[in-house]
Amino acid sequence: MQPFTRLTAAAAPIDLPNVDTDRIIPARFLRKPQDTPGYDRFLFHDVRFDAGGAERPEFVLNQPPFRAAKILVAAENFGCGSSREAAVWVLAAHGIRAVIAPSLGDIFSQNCGKNGLLAVILPADAAAAVRRQLHATPGATLTVDLEAQTVTAPDGVIHRFEVDPFRKQMLLSGQDEIGLTLGYAAQIAAFEADHRASPPWLTAR
């Protein structure tokens, strides 16, 4: 997994609340392997492109200052809905490395961490203030520092954020989580032996 440490990059505002993962990647693209050429085009496909496949100029990621954004600053409950990890794969394919919002879908947020994307929760008013600055100065950059747990907004204000210590460690190191867990093989085996002995119906077939 690609580690995440510190990133200074252009950010794009997404003002709509409750952006669901069906919107991030429509269901009909889920059968496309992640290495499909042009995978990035599936991102926000139905709001980003018209029926003829041409870009909709009003969509934020189609506007020149935001095309190269590596950070999204969203509204409440971004990434709600379906558990499809393709929502994160397609963001990553577009070059997005961090998503900032007042709240995020739980599964989406987990999925971000597994793919080297940093999910940041900021208070609603702070996130709204950052989005306003991005509208006022399109192409403005943010700095997201995972070690320090800070987001530096275009106006210079530094917002501190909380992050799960486990997630932080995994992202900073880029460690393979399954590899880590396999280091607990003895505990898992001991647990299984005990678990099987007490509720035998769990494994009875």
Partner 1 sequence: MGDTMFEKIWARHAVAEGPGGQTLLYIDRHLLHEGSTPAFVRLARTGRRVRRPDLCFATADHYVLTSPGAPAPDAEIRTMVELLTRHTGEQGIVFFAPGDARRGIVHVIGPEQGLTLPGMVLVCGDSHTATHGALGALAFGIGSSEVEHVLATQTLWQRKPRTLRITVDGALGPGVAAKDVILAIIATIGAGGGVGHAIEYAGSAIRAMSVAERMTVCNMSIEAGARAGMVAPDATTLAWLQGRPFAPAGEAWARAAAYWTTLASDAGARFDRETRLDAAAIAPTVTWGTSPQDALPITARVPDPAATADAGRRQGLERALAYMGLAAGMALTDVRVDRVFIGSCTNSRLEDLRAAAAVAKGRRAVVPAWIVPGSGLVKQAAEAEGLDRVFREAGFEWREAGCSMCVGMNGETARAGERVASTSNRNFEGRQGQGARTHLMSPAMAAAAAVTGRLTDVRTL
Q: Choose the stretch contacting partner 1; rule: CB under 8 A; options: 6-14, 66-74, 148-156, 196-204.
A: 196-204
Looking from the CA of 175 toward its CB, the CA atoms found within 13 Å total 14
Alpha carbon separation from 102 to 17, 73, 105, 194, 205 (Å, rounded): 10, 9, 11, 42, 46
Alpha carbons 127 and 13: distance in angstroms, whole number: 9
Helical segments of 66-105, H only: 86-93
Query: Residue 18, interface with partner 1 (CB under 8 A)?
Result: yes
Residue count (the chain):
205
Closer of 71 and 85 to partner 1 (Cβ): 85
Minimum distance between the CB of residue 63 and partner 1, rounded to whole angstroms? 18
Minimum distance between the CB of residue 21 and partner 1, rounded to whole angstroms? 9
By CB under 8 A, how many residues form the interface with partner 1?
61
Alpha carbons 38 and 67: distance in angstroms, whole number: 16
Query: Residue 149, interface with partner 1 (CB under 8 A)?
Result: no
Query: Residue 53, interface with partner 1 (CB under 8 A)?
Result: no
Query: Residue 68, interface with partner 1 (CB under 8 A)?
Result: no
Phi, psi of 33 (to 5 degrees): -60, 155
Minimum distance between the CB of residue 144 and partner 1, rounded to whole angstroms? 19
- CA angle, 107 as apex, 171 and 31 as ends, to 5°? 100
Query: Residue 31, interface with partner 1 (CB under 8 A)?
Result: yes
Which positions lie near partner 1, rule CB under 8 A?
15-18, 20, 22-23, 26-28, 30-34, 46-47, 75-77, 80-86, 88, 103-107, 110-111, 114-115, 128, 164-169, 177-178, 181-182, 184, 187-188, 191-192, 195, 199-205
